[in-house]
Structure 1
């Protein structure tokens, strides 16, 4: 494996007096990887939202139901390069079951991965920032450290694997609707079941255990500190697993409201960020109660 440990330059790790003002500013950024990492993550999140917005506008213009789709229909389509247009077409367009292919599955997996980057990566920012600060401190003391992007790579790898599972579930819903639109909300009874699962999970001990791991990154990162890239990658993957443990049931809500529902995407992303920052049970319990009441009401309406 490529060694990505950061090593200070002997004798001049912090002496940039021979450089001009611009050079000193650039070198100073190099001494603190957190600026580069946070800028890269911000760019990735913004790009993911841009692509998802483009997909949401196209799905709304194709006549799919969902909150806010009436407004999206009035917006101009976001121009995309040819390969991205093909990607969007594979995700948005209704395709008969006989036409399913590996390329469509890969496109759906990438769509779910974009959703994870857009909605879940911001909630991991405190954990990533904490690790960056530890790396900066180690570098200042002249100690080697693994670049923070290795931690991010481990985290996102787990979400990529989870995206494959969600893509399979998406195809399953498409098959069950006999070639219907992928992003239409699930039928009443099915949607009620999904909302009920998501609501009940908010009260589970597993949910609470995963939240505790996500809310206390410093103690975990400091206790598991390593100069070996593979261990930091594994640490990022473990944090990704805890994150999935917090949020997998909430992702099921997207099937109930329509997968490409930009409003609910943003709402779930904001809630995931809030839930990991606010200690205690209140936020999880309130969300769980709302989902259970919603599920019960939807079930009653569907049955009667």
Structure 2
């Protein structure tokens, strides 16, 4: 075995060990903040794991959504509970409290391992069919083709679910604050945060535009780009450089609904000029898909940023 493969194997073993250790820490620790930070680290390591499996699109999404944005949502929720809820009483650890879940997890792990090992070789896959039909879409990235062409209805419903989740968060606001803005800026803003909020957004916007543009042919796409834009927006709001937008702003609502609305409009266009709903005319399939991705990126960015910002807590200005 060559030195390169030996180092690669050792890296993979260390990566798996780190994932298992972080997962156990998330489950076992009673420190909420520590568990969330371990969960964020777990998401980042899991992204590296997907990259090692040559699934770059999944790796980018896992690092951005699974680790970064979800972790920030959990940190916000933890801080909110710490301010408004009494701490739980200390409970002495009992073997029965963790023994049964541990046995159940072990059995599930063994069952899943047996199922994976029972797969035929090579494992069943639709990858060849997905690649074979790429020419009809004009795309070079089969993942984008699956999300925006072959299974476009699933992607459309996912974006609608995101909007509904945001409406659910907004509904938690007080009646007097409905239509207002969230308060994200801390009482004291650290100077390094202000510096980062001034320096990073231009690079973040550039990377997001690149992710959307190359996503048609290379790893990238709307969720990754939207998450980057959402992170830049949150950074600016946390630093106090810009306030959170009022949720009743018409431009904001147009941006949020614009992506799914364009998706639906193009879908009905397919009824008239192609084979059916969400079918694309072959001659203009790629421009339509790239246009949908651009609109969805803005919608996803706004939705994710406002989900993290939470429900409005300031009354709208008259």
Give the shorter-chain TM-score range: 0.3 to 0.5
The structure, 1 or 2, with the larger RCO (C-alpha pairs under 8 Å, 6+ apart) is: 1
TM-score, normalised relative to structure 2: 0.32
